[in-house]
Amino acid sequence: QCLVIVVDELDRARPNFSIAFLETIKHLFSDAPVIFVIGCDRDVLISSAKHEFGNNLPDLPLDFRTIDK
């Protein structure tokens, strides 16, 4: 069995909150069978990550997938 968690409009949150939220759920559920569906503007989320990490962004995991509207 797998838990599916849906998060919508993450791109509307403050950049530091968005990144902290993603890091937190990654660590909390790292060993659990969980799928996250995150509804957001990918470019805004990348901009938030650049705001937190600079241009040296961590590599995306292999299971990172995007679906364009």
Determine the average pLDDT of the residues in 39-51.
84
Question: Which stretches of 1-69 are assigned E, i.e. beta strand?
Answer: 3-8, 34-39
Determine the average pLDDT of the residues in 31-54.
84
Angle ∠(34,39,40) on CA atoms, nearest 5 = 130
> Using CA atoms, how far apart are residues 46 and 36, in angstroms rounded to an integer?
17
Could you report the per-residue pLDDT of 10-38, keeping only the tens digit for each?
889 998 898 899 889 888 888 889 888 88
Residue 54 has pLDDT above 70, yes or no: yes
pTM of the model: 0.71
Going by C-alpha positions, the residue among 69, 68, 1, 7 that lies closest to residue 38 is 7
Residues forming beta bridges with residue 35, ordered by sequence position = 4
